[in-house]
Structure 1
Amino acid sequence: MTSEITLFVNPTAGRGRGARAARPAASALRDAGFSVRTVLGTDAADALDRARAAVAAGTGALIAVGGDGMVSLALRAVAGTDVPLGVVAAGSGNDYARAHGLPVRQPAAAAVVAATALKEHGGRPADLGRAGDRWFGTVLASGLDSRVNDRGNRLRGPVGRFRYDLALLAELAALRTVPYRISFDGGPAREIEATLVAVGNAPSYGGGMRICPGARTDDGLFDITVVGPCSRTTLLRVFPRVYRGSHLSHPAVTALRARSVTLEAPGVTGYADGEPLGPLPLTATAVPEAVRLLVP
């Protein structure tokens, strides 16, 4: 194990919390005996190139400092390699960190967890999702939730779950169902009308919305939540239950499990880890033990 590790920082995450979090994180890592190199990027593509270069050069670990978008970039750099990933959650949503029981907006504590894990076991294996050449750690969203994600990313108002609550209210005004063709594990396609389809490697997105509450990152499977046709009134009544994960009992909601899923729907963009993947159709596959995580 090399003593040099790479701090992969998004300085704009959480309205500047990423930049502020980098300092105590780096200090805690150095106190633990590691040499710390900080990597920034001029934009997402440049940041990813720099992270991949650090991984290729044999860094002892990549520590992502920021929100789920930064973690998503880091996953693309380390997935399928032996370089472990640590997470210093300093963004608005931080769903990936929550899924793994990591400290949120406590940069020094998160760095201590990463340093301790690196010394004690070098990282524990965890599953990822893959759609085309993109890896994701939390949820692939499509339908209403991807439109909410799109609108939420454009808002300059509140952060975290409140941003997505506002975006949802705005999207409800244009609520519509979508004709999907869905196939699981390479089987025959099913044609359904749905308000949204969410494919979960982990339980939550949007800052704590537990859309796929049973999803685990160690079972090689996706949990898939399908919300069928429903009225605005029904959605508003059921929506608060998403934060508890109790919405699965509603008759409009169906929960499924599969190793792979293909989604087809006209005019729908897929999002994963809060970042756009591109228009459907998309095929997502659960990849067991695709990353080593610095967790307790």
Structure 2
Amino acid sequence: MTSEITLFVNPTAGRGRGASAAQPAARALRDAGFSVRTVLGEDSHDALRRARDAVGGGTGALIAVGGDGLVSLALQAVAGTRTPLGVIAVGTGNDFARSLALPVRDPARAARLAARALKEGSAREIDLGRVGERWFGTILASGFDSRVTDRGNRMRWPVGRFRYDLAMLAELAALRPIPYRIALDGGPVREIEATLVAVGNGPVYGGGMRMCAGAAMDDGLFDVTVVAGCDRTTLLRVFPKLYRGTHLSRPEVTVDRARSIALEAAGLTAYADGEPLGPLPLTAESVPGAVRVLGAGGGALGRGPVGARGD
């Protein structure tokens, strides 16, 4: 274990919490005996290049300080390597951290957990999803949810999460079943009409919604959650249940487990870890043990308690 580790920081995460979180995190890591180097980027491409340079240069760990967007960048740098990932979750959603029972908005505690795991050599191997060369840790979204994100991203007003609330209302007004073509594990193509299809490496997205509530992050399988084509009234009944994961008992919802999925639908953009992957069609595969995470909870990761919305 090298004593030099890298803080990978998004200073704008969580409305500026990233910048303020870097100092207590670095202090806790230095108090534990580590030499800390901080990496920022001028933009996402520059940040990823710097993170990959740190990993290629032999850093002892890459510690992401920010939200799910920065964690997504960090995954692109460490996936498939032996460099462990630490997460100081100070963003808005923090779904990756929630899925692994890591501290949320407590940078000193998160850093102490990472330092202890490094000293003990106890980084936990978890699976990642992969689409082409892109990796993801939580859920790949397609359908109603991705259309809401598309619309919200196009809106210039209002700012913040309220923009996506308005986008959801607009998409509800335009709700129609989506024709999908799906194949699991290279099997036969199924043609279905659905409101959405979510491919879960982990259980949580959207700031605590347990869309794929049964997904474990260390079983080599996706949980493929399908919400059948339904009307607005039915969808509004299902939606509040997402935060508890009780929607899985609804007759409109089915779950399959698979190592890979080919997904096709016209006019849809897929998102994963809240970031755009690109238009369908696509094929996603589960890659077992693709990343080593510091301080992650024990047991079947993702099946335990998940922090409540707003932590």
Structure 1-normalised TM-score? 0.96
Q: Which residue of the partner structure matches residue 234 of structure 1?
A: 234
Q: Which residue of the partner structure matches residue 151 of structure 1?
A: 151
The question of whether the paired residues in 2 share the 8 Å contact of 1:84 and 1:122 is answered with: no
Residue identity in the other structure for 1:115: A
Q: Which residue of the partner structure matches residue 112 of structure 1?
A: 112
Q: Which residue of the partner structure matches residue 91 of structure 1?
A: 91
The structural deviation recorded for 1:261 is 0.3
Q: Which residue of the partner structure matches residue 30 of structure 1?
A: 30
Identity of aligned residues (%): 74
Separation in structure 2 between the aligned mates of residue 7 and residue 170 of structure 1, nearest angstrom: 40
Q: Which residue of the partner structure matches residue 178 of structure 2?
A: 178
The structural deviation recorded for 1:170 is 3.1
Separation in structure 2 between the aligned mates of residue 295 and residue 37 of structure 1, nearest angstrom: 20
Q: C-alpha deviations, 1:209-258, integer Å up to 9, x for none?
A: 10000001110000010011111111111100000000011111111110
What is the SS of the residue equivalent to 1:255?
A: strand
Q: Which residue of the partner structure matches residue 250 of structure 1?
A: 250
Q: C-alpha deviations, 1:52-74, integer Å up to 9, x for none?
A: 00000000000001111110110
The structural deviation recorded for 1:169 is 2.6
The structural deviation recorded for 1:23 is 1.1
Q: C-alpha deviations, 1:171-190, integer Å up to 9, x for none?
A: 21221211100000001111
The structural deviation recorded for 1:153 is 4.4
Q: Structure 2 vs 1, CA of residues 216 and 153 (structure 1 numbering), >3 Å: closer, same or farther?
A: farther
Is the counterpart of residue 281 in structure 1 residue 281 in structure 2? yes
Separation in structure 2 between the aligned mates of residue 11 and residue 167 of structure 1, nearest angstrom: 27
Structure 2-normalised TM-score? 0.92
Q: Which residue of the partner structure matches residue 100 of structure 1?
A: 100
Q: C-alpha deviations, 1:5-56, integer Å up to 9, x for none?
A: 0000111111111111111111111111111101001111110000000000
**What does 1:35-184 align with in structure 2 at a 5 Å threshold?**
35-153=35-153, 157-159=159-161, 164-184=164-184
The structural deviation recorded for 1:152 is 4.2
The structural deviation recorded for 1:164 is 4.8
Separation in structure 2 between the aligned mates of residue 249 and residue 122 of structure 1, nearest angstrom: 36
The structural deviation recorded for 1:149 is 2.4
What RMSD, in angstroms, separates the aligned Cα atoms of the two structures? 1.3
| Structure 1 unmatched ranges of 5 or more | none
Separation in structure 2 between the aligned mates of residue 225 and residue 46 of structure 1, nearest angstrom: 35
Q: Structure 2 vs 1, CA of residues 165 and 277 (structure 1 numbering), >3 Å: closer, same or farther?
A: same
Q: Structure 2 vs 1, CA of residues 151 and 109 (structure 1 numbering), >3 Å: closer, same or farther?
A: farther
The structural deviation recorded for 1:148 is 1.9
Q: Structure 2 vs 1, CA of residues 170 and 101 (structure 1 numbering), >3 Å: closer, same or farther?
A: same
Q: Which residue of the partner structure matches residue 305 of structure 2?
A: none
The structural deviation recorded for 1:196 is 0.4
Separation in structure 1 between the aligned mates of residue 176 and residue 17 of structure 2, nearest angstrom: 37
The structural deviation recorded for 1:166 is 4.5
What is the SS of the residue equivalent to 2:103?
A: coil
Separation in structure 2 between the aligned mates of residue 64 and residue 164 of structure 1, nearest angstrom: 26
Separation in structure 2 between the aligned mates of residue 111 and residue 167 of structure 1, nearest angstrom: 36
Separation in structure 2 between the aligned mates of residue 131 and residue 166 of structure 1, nearest angstrom: 30
| Structure 2 unmatched ranges of 5 or more | 297-311
Q: Indicate the larger mover: 30-39 or 166-175.
A: 166-175
Separation in structure 2 between the aligned mates of residue 220 and residue 236 of structure 1, nearest angstrom: 32
Separation in structure 1 between the aligned mates of residue 261 and residue 217 of structure 2, nearest angstrom: 17
What is the SS of the residue equivalent to 2:207?
A: coil
Separation in structure 2 between the aligned mates of residue 175 and residue 247 of structure 1, nearest angstrom: 19
Q: Indicate the larger mover: 185-194 or 148-157.
A: 148-157
What is the SS of the residue equivalent to 1:59?
A: coil
Q: Which residue of the partner structure matches residue 266 of structure 1?
A: 266
Q: Structure 2 vs 1, CA of residues 244 and 167 (structure 1 numbering), >3 Å: closer, same or farther?
A: farther
Residue identity in the other structure for 2:121: H
Is the counterpart of residue 191 in structure 1 residue 187 in structure 2? no
The structural deviation recorded for 1:147 is 1.3
Separation in structure 2 between the aligned mates of residue 89 and residue 124 of structure 1, nearest angstrom: 17
What is the SS of the residue equivalent to 2:263?
A: strand
